[in-house]
Structure 1
Amino acid sequence: MAFRVLGIDPASFEHLVGLSEEALAALGIRRYTVDAKPGFPDRIEVRDLEPGETVLLLNYEHQPADTPYRATHAIFIGEESRTRLDMIDSLPEAIRIRPISLRAFDAAGEMVDADLADGAALEPLILRFLARADVSYLHAHYAKRGCYAARIERV
């Protein structure tokens, strides 16, 4: 079974790029200059940003379903990230190098299963979850801080 890993659509963040520190702070957003790699995983391109790049730390609603599993959390968005990751049958390095909490959701947005795996060993878990008829999509979260990483779907 084929799977697709998707980053976040950058269109939702275009209005934030280049805002002043004061304007960002008024929205509860912080700008950082990347000083280490790995360390600042962008959620649009799903890659660790390079030292010197700028990143926005903001709260993002990654699970908008009207269920008890509705969720928001802090994520990094690269200010220069413009191309949403769309990767088939492979995992980006930013996921492969970290422990991942994988969460399986049904079509109504209810969590029906979840498990932890080292990113390098995640593919069998993805395939097992997507083989279930009641699973509609998956969310990968960086397990250490619990931050949303990417959406995974059947192709």
Structure 2
Amino acid sequence: MTFQIHALPRETFAPLFGLDETALATRRAVWRIAESSPGWPCRVSLADADKGERLLLVNHEHLGGATPYRASHAVFVRETAPQARPEPGDVPDVIGRRLISVRAFDGDWMMVGADVVEGGAVAATLETMLADRAVAEVHLHIARPGCYLARATRA
């Protein structure tokens, strides 16, 4: 068994790219310029923005539904982000170079497991968590700021 990491879909954010600052503000979004690289991880491309690159900073609900774990958080999306589609079993560098909070959820969106691991241990952690048939999917968060990064399922 192996895992598949999923980026957020570009089409979720595409309608925001042409909006002015006032319209973005009503959608809890603002433009930011990457001040360094790495450090500004795009959730669509699963790559860090280059220094000076423009990103949308927007609140995104990554765990909806009727659950106590319903959650949203700020995410960055590069204006020119290509859609990431990692191969099964691959961990993008944007994950591999960070401390990651790994959260396993069952089909009712109840948390059934969690850990904090260095990026190099994400693959083994996903394999272990997803081997448990009670786990429907696993969410990956950047541990220190707590921001949602991506999700993983069985491949």
TM bucket (normalised to shorter chain) is over 0.9
**Alignment gaps of 5+ in structure 2:** none
- SS of residue in 2 equivalent to 1:94: helix
**Alignment gaps of 5+ in structure 1:** none
- SS of residue in 2 equivalent to 1:77: strand
Cross-structure match for 1:96:
96
Cross-structure match for 2:39:
39
The whole-number CA distance in structure 2 between the counterparts of 1:93 and 1:136 is: 24
- SS of residue in 2 equivalent to 1:129: helix
Does the 8 Å CA contact 1:140/1:151 hold for their aligned counterparts? Answer: yes
The whole-number CA distance in structure 2 between the counterparts of 1:87 and 1:7 is: 12
Q: How does the TM-score come out when normalised to structure 2?
A: 0.95
Q: How does the TM-score come out when normalised to structure 1?
A: 0.95
Residues 2-41 of structure 1: pairs in structure 2 closer than 5 A: 2-41=2-41
The whole-number CA distance in structure 1 between the counterparts of 2:62 and 2:87 is: 19
- SS of residue in 2 equivalent to 1:75: strand
- SS of residue in 1 equivalent to 2:149: strand
The whole-number CA distance in structure 2 between the counterparts of 1:27 and 1:148 is: 18
Cross-structure match for 1:69:
69
**Identity over the aligned pairs, expressed in percent?**
37
1:122, CA displacement in angstroms? Answer: 1.5
Does the 8 Å CA contact 1:44/1:85 hold for their aligned counterparts? Answer: no
Does the 8 Å CA contact 1:53/1:78 hold for their aligned counterparts? Answer: yes
1:27, CA displacement in angstroms? Answer: 2.3
1:65, CA displacement in angstroms? Answer: 2.6
The whole-number CA distance in structure 2 between the counterparts of 1:65 and 1:151 is: 16
Is 1:78 the equivalent of 2:78?
Answer: yes
Does the 8 Å CA contact 1:29/1:57 hold for their aligned counterparts? Answer: yes
Does the 8 Å CA contact 1:17/1:79 hold for their aligned counterparts? Answer: yes
RMSD: 1.2
1:55, CA displacement in angstroms? Answer: 0.3
- SS of residue in 2 equivalent to 1:122: helix
1:52, CA displacement in angstroms? Answer: 2.5
1:79, CA displacement in angstroms? Answer: 1.2
The whole-number CA distance in structure 2 between the counterparts of 1:148 and 1:27 is: 18
Cross-structure match for 2:138:
138
The whole-number CA distance in structure 1 between the counterparts of 2:93 and 2:64 is: 26
